[in-house]
A = this chain, B = another copy of it.
Amino acid sequence: MVPNAPEPPPLSRRERQILDIVYARANATAGEIKALMSNPPSDSAVRSSLRILEEKGHVKHKQDGARYVYLPTVPRKRASRSALRHLLHTFFDDSAEDVMAALLEVRSPDEDELARMRELIDRMRREEKDR
């Protein structure tokens, strides 16, 4: 048993799928979530899973007329950093450089985006110099 040892993911398969859709969209109704699924279960199955996600604290809902709009409880930014850390550790030996290489390969950014990415690095280097 090792400190910081991985716990199993907290969400089941369907829960994970649904929460990912909610994060990708920023918010979603049950109907929207269902429409975004390939081979979706019934309406009520989607709704049951959302209710469980809410009980577990991963989403909350706002009333929109008669409908519920579901939102993630953990802000996207925070969840994204956590997911990124997990990715770094699992597949990239915690190396930022290796993720970057993969990123460039996967996304093939255009000239403008490359320039902006370069500027992010330069800005951080400047900040490190000021330290």
**A residues at B contact (CB < 8 Å):** 1-2, 5-14, 16-17, 20-21, 23-24, 35-40, 76, 79-81, 83-92, 94, 96-97, 99-107, 109-111, 113-114, 116-118, 120-122, 124-125, 128
The answer for the CA separation of A2 and B111 in the assembled complex, in Å, is 31
Q: Is the CB of A6 within 8 A of B21?
A: yes
The answer for the CA separation of A37 and B4 in the assembled complex, in Å, is 9
Q: Is the CB of A102 within 8 A of B121?
A: no
Q: Is the CB of B117 within 8 A of A122?
A: no
Q: Is the CB of A14 within 8 A of B8?
A: yes
Interface secondary structure of A, over-half rule? helix
Q: Is the CB of B38 within 8 A of A7?
A: yes
Which of the residues B8, B81, B111, B125 comes within 8 Å of A106, measured between beta carbons?
B81
The answer for the CA separation of A79 and B21 in the assembled complex, in Å, is 21
Q: Nearest 5 CB-CB pairs, A to B? A: A80-B91, A5-B38, A96-B107, A8-B17, A8-B13
* 17 extra A-B contacts, CB within 8 A, seeds A5-B36, A96-B104: A1-B37, A2-B36, A5-B38, A6-B21, A7-B39, A23-B90, A24-B89, A81-B105, A81-B106, A83-B87, A84-B102, A84-B106, A94-B107, A96-B117, A99-B99, A110-B128, A121-B121
